[in-house]
Amino acid sequence: MDESTGLPNRSGIERFMLESLVGGPGVASPFTVLMLEVSNARELNSEQTGWAQQHMMKQLGDIIRSIAPENAYVGRYSHSTFAFVVRDEHEMEDSALLALVRTHATDRGIRGIRWKLGRSQFPQQAQSSQMLLRQALKTQVAA
């Protein structure tokens, strides 16, 4: 568990993905991995105190949790990246996700964040959790 956000950490995300890939009896269900990164995190961190950084990430974690669909597993993948694992029956559009995050962040007084968003899909793009995560990180584009 990530202490700053209260979200599952990288290990929790990877464990959830492995369990999703193994599935139950039969074939694992398709899902999408979305990686949402604060692309200017270093810049923001240099401008803020440790407490302010932690507070901002806590608020972003709350936002991520509040906008995620019910069937999504969300977590903090790294210092500046959040992950969504979304069952494909409720596919989330990239632009809609970014609009929600931006709106909620602005409502909470969080400004100046630049985002990058990447995605990968099981089983279309990769078959293992590590490859899915790498693919989502590799395909990130500024948003």
Straight-line distance from the first to the last Cα atom of the chain, in angstroms, rounded to the nearest whole number: 28
Residues shown for the chain: 143
118-129 core/surface letters (b: 16 or more CB in 10 A; e: else): bbbbbeeebeeb
pLDDT digits (tens, 9 = 90+) for 71-92: 889 998 988 888 888 876 556 6
Q: What percent of the chain has pLDDT over 70?
A: 85
Bond from prior residue into 123 cis (ω within 30 degrees of 0): yes
Query: Per-residue pLDDT averaged across 96-104, rounded?
Result: 81
Q: Where are the domains of the chain?
A: 10-142
CATH number assigned to the domain covering 10-142: 3.30.70.270
126-138 pLDDT, tens digit each: 878 888 888 888 8
Q: What is the DSSP letter of 35?
A: E
Q: Give residue for tokens 């995190």.
A: 41
pTM: 0.81
Cα(140)–Cα(14) distance, integer angstroms: 19
30 upstream amide cis, omega within 30 of 0: no
Span 15-54, pLDDT tens digits: 888 887 776 545 567 888 888 888 887 777 676 666 677 7
Residue type (1 letter), 3: E
